[in-house]
Amino acid sequence: MYKMDELIGGFTQQIKRAVAIGDNAKLKKPKAPIRNILLTGLGGSGIGGTIISNILRDDLKVPVVINKSYHIPNFVNENTLVIATSYSGNTEETMSALMQAFQRDAHLICVTSGGLVKEFASIHNIDFIEIDGGMPPRACFALSFIQLLYIFNQMNLVEDGFKLSLANTIQRLESEEEEIKNYAKKIAEKLFGTIPAIYSDSNYEGVAIRFRQQINENSKMLCWHHVIPEMNHNELVGWRQNNNDISVVFLRNNNDYERVQERIEFTKGVIKNYTSRIYEIYSKGDTDIERSLYLIHVCDWISYYLSELNEVDAIEIEVINSLKNKLAENPL
C-alpha cells in the first residue's frame, strides 16, 4: 500500500523515470499540418495539460484548448493534435472525448498506464505512451506531465531545452528537499483550521489549480483559487468582511510581469484589512518549468502536512470512488 509522503518524497525519482519513458517514446508524424491542439483529461491526469499550456504559452505557434468534458469542440478535425491523458485508462469522460476525436480523424496520442484507453489505442493503431500504473493519479503528476513535453517535442512544436530544465529541477529539489519539507510544514501549520484562498499570476493558474486539488484530495479541505489580474476585476470587491478563518496564499515568481506584481501588492493591502493570514510562496528556478515544478513540490508537501494536522488519510478518496462505482452501474 502506497503512502502519500513516500510518493511525494519520490518526486525527483518520478521525474527521472518520466524522462526515461519519454526518451524511449516513438511517435508517428502527423499526416496533416497541426493547426490546433486539444488536451483532454481530468483530475490528477488532466492538470498537466493546464500547466503545460501555461508554460508553453510563448513557445507554441498554434492555439491550445484544454478539455475537461465528455464532448470535444467542433473545431477538432484532421489538423488537430488531440492528446488524451488518463492515468488509469478508464476515465469515462476522457474515453468519450477520445472516441469522438477518432471519428473526426484527429491526430491522436494517448498517455495512460493501461485500461480502456490503452485497449482502444491498440485496436485502432493510435500512438500511446504507457506510464507506470497502480498509484493515485494525483501522485503521478510528473509521469504524465513530462510525456506532454516529449510529445510536443516529437511533433516539432517545441525545442528540447526542457530536458535541461528537468535536470536542473532534479538537482535543486534533491539538494533542498529537507528545507522544502520544513518550510511546507510551517505553511501547513498556518493554514490549518482555515479555508485557503490561493492566488497567482494568470500564467501560473495551472499550478494554483493543482494546489487547490491537492488540498481537496489530500487534506480533505475546501478552498478556492483565482488569478491576477482577473480577480482584480471582480473578486477583490468581495473582500468586505473580517474573516480570520480564511488564509490567503499568493504563489509568486520573481519574474511575474511588473504590472501584475503591482496588482499583487495592492491586493495584499486590501485583504490585510479583513484577515491577518496572508502568506507568500516564491518559486525558484530559471525557467517556467523549473519554477512550476518547484511550486508544485512545495505545495504537495503542504497538502500532506495538512492531512496530518487534520488527522485524515491523504490517500483515501472514497466519495470519488463511490461516484465512479455508481456511474459504472450504467456505463456509456
Q: pLDDT grade, residue 243 (50/70/90)?
A: very high
Taking alpha carbons only, the member of 107, 132, 91 closest to residue 30 is: 107
Mean pLDDT of 132-138: 95
Cα–Cα distance for residue pair 142/134, rounded to 1 Å = 15
Cα–Cα distance for residue pair 261/324, rounded to 1 Å = 42
What the block records as the C-alpha cell of 52 is 503545460
Q: Is there a common fold for 4-160 and 163-309? A: yes
The C-alpha cell 510528473 sits at 142
Q: Is 198 helix (H, G, I), strand (E, B) or coil?
A: strand
What the block records as the C-alpha cell of 128 is 500511446
Task: Give me the residues paired with residue 130 across strands.
Answer: 112
H-run or E-run covering 249: strand 246-252
**For the chain, what is the mean pLDDT?**
97
Taking a C-beta distance cutoff of 8 angstroms, is the pair 67, 97 a contact?
A: yes
Which distant-in-sequence residues (6+ apart) come within 8 Å of 133 by Cβ? 87, 88, 113, 114
Check 26, 61, 233, 326 and give the catalytic one. Answer: 233
Q: pLDDT grade, residue 330 (50/70/90)?
A: confident
The domain 163-309 is placed in CATH, from the list 3.40.50.10490, 3.40.50.970, 3.65.10.10, 3.40.630.30, at 3.40.50.10490
Cα–Cα distance for residue pair 140/11, rounded to 1 Å = 8
State yes or no: is 159 an active-site residue: no
- Computed over its alpha carbons, how large is the radius of gyration of the chain? 20
Domain boundaries, the chain: 4-160, 163-309
State yes or no: is 217 an active-site residue: yes
pLDDT of residue 332: 79
Which distant-in-sequence residues (6+ apart) come within 8 Å of 68 by Cβ? 40, 41, 42, 46, 93
Task: Give me the residues paired with residue 80 across strands.
Answer: 36
Check 181, 217, 225, 297 and give the catalytic one. Answer: 217
pLDDT of residue 255: 94
Mean pLDDT of 103-125: 98
Q: Specify burial of residue 54 (Cβ count, 10 A radius: 0-12, 13-18, 19+).
A: buried
Check 3, 71, 272, 324 and give the catalytic one. Answer: 324
Mean pLDDT of 286-312: 98
Looking at residue 160, what DSSP letter applies? T
Cα–Cα distance for residue pair 239/290, rounded to 1 Å = 33
Kindly report, residue by residue over 178-196, the tens digit of the pLDDT: 999 999 999 999 999 999 9
pLDDT over 80 (residue 206): yes
State yes or no: is 297 an active-site residue: no
Taking alpha carbons only, the member of 139, 138, 134 closest to residue 114 is: 134
Q: pLDDT grade, residue 199 (50/70/90)?
A: very high
pTM flag (> 0.95): yes
Cα–Cα distance for residue pair 230/284, rounded to 1 Å = 24
Mean pLDDT of 305-320: 96
pLDDT of residue 328: 87
Q: Specify burial of residue 328 (Cβ count, 10 A radius: 0-12, 13-18, 19+).
A: exposed
Q: pLDDT grade, residue 1 (50/70/90)?
A: confident
Domain 4-160 is found in CATH 3.40.50.300: no
Cα–Cα distance for residue pair 169/96, rounded to 1 Å = 35
Cα–Cα distance for residue pair 27/154, rounded to 1 Å = 7
- Say what angle helices 288-309 and 205-217 make with each other, to 10 degrees: 20
Taking a C-beta distance cutoff of 8 angstroms, is the pair 228, 263 a contact?
A: yes
Kindly report, residue by residue over 146-159, the tens digit of the pLDDT: 999 999 999 999 99
How big is the chain, counted in residues? 332
Kindly report, residue by residue over 70-93, the tens digit of the pLDDT: 999 999 999 999 999 999 999 999
For residues 192, 185, 190, 298, the Cα torsion angle rounded to the nearest 10 degrees is -100
pLDDT over 80 (residue 209): yes
Sheet holding 64-67, edge to edge: 64-67, 36-40, 80-86, 107-112, 127-130
Mean pLDDT of 174-178: 98
